[in-house]
Structures are given as structure tokens and as C-alpha cells.
């Protein structure tokens, strides 16, 4: 059983968050801390001027509300929203907060993943703790 569990959450349509949440619940010790982490990819500087100022703020509020709703379905869970590159930011957060398990969803690899790699693949290769990938 794990005491500090990180569950990176992707709101992409092809990602099912129910699997990782279920695994996190099953593998967590009683009283474990569960963190649901969503990484917002940074908007390139050349595109930011085309986005209304209140759009990003509204998007952040909606995503945080979604995370908070998911966190309510798990004991001792919290939702955290941060900006950065998904794979690197998940690993940076894990390095700072020392989870003993990361549970994340994956998808069927495509040709793009073979060329560029995937977030789950990056986390599996570089995490300092146990990683459970749910497909």
C-alpha cells in the first residue's frame, strides 16, 4: 500500500480518468494523500496575443473545478493545476513532493509516439518512484 500517490490527469477525450482513479483508490493505504495533477501546456509567445485575456483565466478556473470534483470522489485527495511541459513537469513535481506511486493513463501508441515519445513513457523511464500505467 502506498501513502503518497500522484495521479496526473489529462482531460483529452481519448483518456479515461476512471481507470487511474480506481487504481489509486485500490493501492492507497488508509489515510494516504492522493494528488490529482493537471499540467496546462504553455501557450507559445507568438500565439498568446491572439487569446483574450480572460480566456486563460476562465480555462484555469474550469479545469480547477473539474479537478476538485474528481478529488471529492477519493479520500484525502486534492487537485493541483500547474503550467509546463507535461512529462517534465510531472517529474519535477514528483521530485519536489516525493510520491511513492504515480498512477497515470496511457493510450495505444501511434507512429508519433514512436518518433517523439509519450508522456507516460517519459515518466516511466525517469521517475524515481513506482509508476503504474493504466491503459
Could you read off the pLDDT of 18-69 as tens digits, one per residue? Answer: 999 999 999 999 999 999 999 998 888 888 888 887 888 899 999 999 999 9
Contact 2, 130 (CB under 8 A): yes
Residue 17 has pLDDT above 60, yes or no: yes
Domain count, the chain: 1
Residue predicted with more confidence, 3 or 49: 3
Contact 67, 80 (CB under 8 A): yes
Domain that holds residue 36: 2-134
Q: How confident is the model at residue 13 (pLDDT cuts 50, 70, 90)?
A: confident
User: Which residues contact residue 125 at a Cβ distance below 8 angstroms, ignoring those fewer than 6 apart?
Assistant: none
Start-to-end Cα distance in the chain: 21
Per-residue pLDDT of 64-123, as tens digits, reads: 999 999 999 999 999 999 999 999 999 999 999 999 999 998 866 555 554 445 888 889
C-alpha cell read off for 118: 509519450
Q: Name, in order, each residue with C-beta under 8 angstroms of 84's C-beta and a sequence gap of 6 or more.
A: 39, 40, 41, 42, 92
Q: Choose among 121, 130, 104: nearest CA to 19.
A: 104
pTM over 0.85: yes
Residue 8 has pLDDT above 50, yes or no: yes
pLDDT of residue 108: 60
Question: What pLDDT, on the 0 to 100 scale, is given for residue 53?
Answer: 76
Whether the predicted pLDDT of 14 surpasses 90: no
Residue 34 pairs in a beta bridge with 5, 77
For residue 95, count other CB atoms closer than 10 A to its CB: 13
CATH number of the domain to which 68 belongs: 3.40.50.620
DSSP string, 119-134: HHHHHHHH-SSEEEEE
Under DSSP, the state recorded for 41 is P
Amino acid at each position: 500500500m502506498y501513502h503518497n500517490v500522484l495521479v496526473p490527469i489529462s482531460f483529452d477525450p481519448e483518456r479515461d480518468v476512471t481507470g487511474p482513479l480506481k487504481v489509486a483508490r485500490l493501492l492507497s493505504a488508509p489515510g494516504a494523500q492522493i494528488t490529482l495533477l493537471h499540467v496546462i501546456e504553455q501557450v507559445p509567445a507568438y500565439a498568446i496575443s491572439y487569446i483574450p485575456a480572460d480566456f486563460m483565466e476562465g480555462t484555469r478556473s474550469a479545469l480547477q473545478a473539474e479537478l476538485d470534483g474528481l478529488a471529492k470522489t477519493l479520500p484525502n485527495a486534492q487537485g493541483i493545476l500547474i503550467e509546463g511541459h507535461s512529462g517534465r513537469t510531472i517529474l519535477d513535481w514528483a521530485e519536489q513532493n516525493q510520491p511513492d506511486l504515480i498512477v497515470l493513463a496511457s493510450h495505444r501508441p501511434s507512429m508519433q509516439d514512436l518518433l517523439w515519445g509519450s508522456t507516460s513513457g517519459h515518466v516511466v523511464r525517469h521517475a524515481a518512484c513506482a509508476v503504474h500505467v493504466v491503459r
